Amino acid sequence: MGLSPVPPLGPIQKLRLAWTIWYASRLRDWRELEQISVAEWLARHSGRKTFEQIWLPLLKAKLGDTWQRTSAAFIWATIQRMYAARHTGHKQEMFGYLYGGYSRMLAVFRRRLEELGSKHEPAAEWKASSATKERSTLNRSHKNASRSTAS
């Protein structure tokens, strides 16, 4: 099962962790999980200690501060994806880790795009300028439509 290298957990906590993963892999209807926080669901099934030592660091690493507003459907989907990867294709897990995380990859993309002549516009400015452009386009369209119906 591959759970023996989890040092901070005792045998009961390891069993509860295994149970949580197995149980989530067998759930077919995720809709109920939308109503339960991921923290509540994981603590209920894995136990408080396992949640704090295993799940919480993973949730924070993956979701940042939004983990507190995340439903249990997130962990269900993650476990479903892991099981699907293991049980399809070559029957081997095909996962990797990007050292430095996605921000490192995105920085490389950004540099390459800038080398190719692309201009970087921060998201906040883009949203504001896009909304302004969209409003002015809509206003022009509305004025043109009003003129054509008035003629």
Task: Tell me the average pLDDT across 84-103.
Answer: 64
Supply the pLDDT for residue 92. Answer: 59
In a domain, 103, yes or no: no
> pTM value?
0.56
Alpha helices in 88-122 (DSSP H): 101-115
Residue 86 reports pLDDT greater than 50 = yes
Mean pLDDT of the chain: 77
- Model pLDDT for residues 43-72, shown as the tens digit of each residue: 999 999 999 999 998 898 888 888 899 999
Query: Do 16 and 88 lie in a common domain?
Result: yes
Supply the pLDDT for residue 68. Answer: 92
Supply the pLDDT for residue 4. Answer: 47
Number of domains in the chain: 2
Task: Tell me the average pLDDT across 9-24.
Answer: 93
Query: Do 117 and 90 lie in a common domain?
Result: no
Q: Which of 96, 126, 142 is the last residue before a domain boundary? A: 96
Task: Tell me the average pLDDT across 92-103.
Answer: 64
Query: Do 38 and 85 lie in a common domain?
Result: yes
Place of tokens 């339960």: 36
Comparing 26-35, 80-89, 110-119, which segment has the lowest mean pLDDT?
80-89
CA 127 vs. chain centroid, Å, equals 22
Task: Tell me the average pLDDT across 122-150.
Answer: 49
> Going by C-beta distance under 8 Å and a sequence separation of 6 or more, which residues neighbour residue 75?
24, 38, 41, 42, 55
Q: Which of 96, 121, 138 is the last residue before a domain boundary? A: 96
In a domain, 4, yes or no: no
Q: Could you tell me the two tokens for 94?
A: 């095909």
Q: Which of 54, 75, 96 is the last residue before a domain boundary? A: 96
